[in-house]
Amino acid sequence: MVAAGAVRVFQEYASGATQARERWKDCLDYLQPGNVLLVADLTRLGRSTSDLADIVTVLGQRGIGFRSLAEPWLDTTSAHGKLIFDMFASLAEYERSRLSERTKAGLAAAKARGRLGGRPRSMTPGKLETARQLRSEGKTLKETAERLSVSVSSLTRALSRNDVPEVASAAA
């Protein structure tokens, strides 16, 4: 890195997939407008194409250039490198929008099949019936909740709602 012109070297030992990278934070604090961040390889900087594009965009907004030794085509200090990066960032944005579209389509298809997202309810129709029976026998909310292995708040909510939706059948 020094042979390539690096003035200060920050070596990260945490994975690129880890958000909490102390040396990366130190590096960002050190960099000033007009500096150039030089990395040995793109894979050491980020987890995905969109993550890398975001990092380089933030650096650019701070007036900090970016160069990769393993990918010499990625050098935001030159007009050619900026063009390549802009295409790279556009592809990352396209990737994000396609992922969002696929996620929304998948959720809509699941909803059409009667599947609901989120955590399954702890109070099933059977448990609600048992809860009503126990309460009619004089059991306290706490005793009833413990017997059904649910929280008192879940029990109270289910009893006040006075209904628990049936689980959608897969035979539809």
Give the residue carrying structure tokens 């920050």. Answer: 10
Please give the sequence-ordered ranges of beta strands (E in DSSP) within the chain, or none if there are none.
Answer: 36-39, 65-68
Report which secondary-structure segment, H or E, holds 85.
Answer: helix 79-112
CA-to-CA dists, residue 58 to 31, 55, 83, 119, angstroms: 12, 5, 16, 36
**Phi and psi torsions of 68, nearest 5°:** -120, 130
Q: Residue-wise pLDDT tens for the chain (172 aa)? A: 555 566 666 666 655 554 567 778 888 888 999 998 988 887 777 777 778 888 888 899 999 999 888 888 888 888 988 898 888 888 888 888 899 899 999 999 988 888 877 888 888 889 999 999 999 999 999 999 999 999 999 999 999 886 544 444 344 3
For 22-112, CATH number out of 2.60.40.2300, 3.30.70.270, 3.40.50.1390, 3.40.50.2000 equals 3.40.50.1390
Residue 106 in tokens = 């998948």
Domain spans of the chain?
A: 22-112, 125-161
**Count of CB atoms situated within 10 Å of the CB of 40:** 15
What's the pLDDT score for residue 146?
94
Q: How would DSSP label each residue in 121-170?
A: PS--HHHHHHHHHHHHTT--HHHHHHHHTS-HHHHHHHHHHT--PPPPPT
Overall pTM surpassing 0.85 (yes/no): no
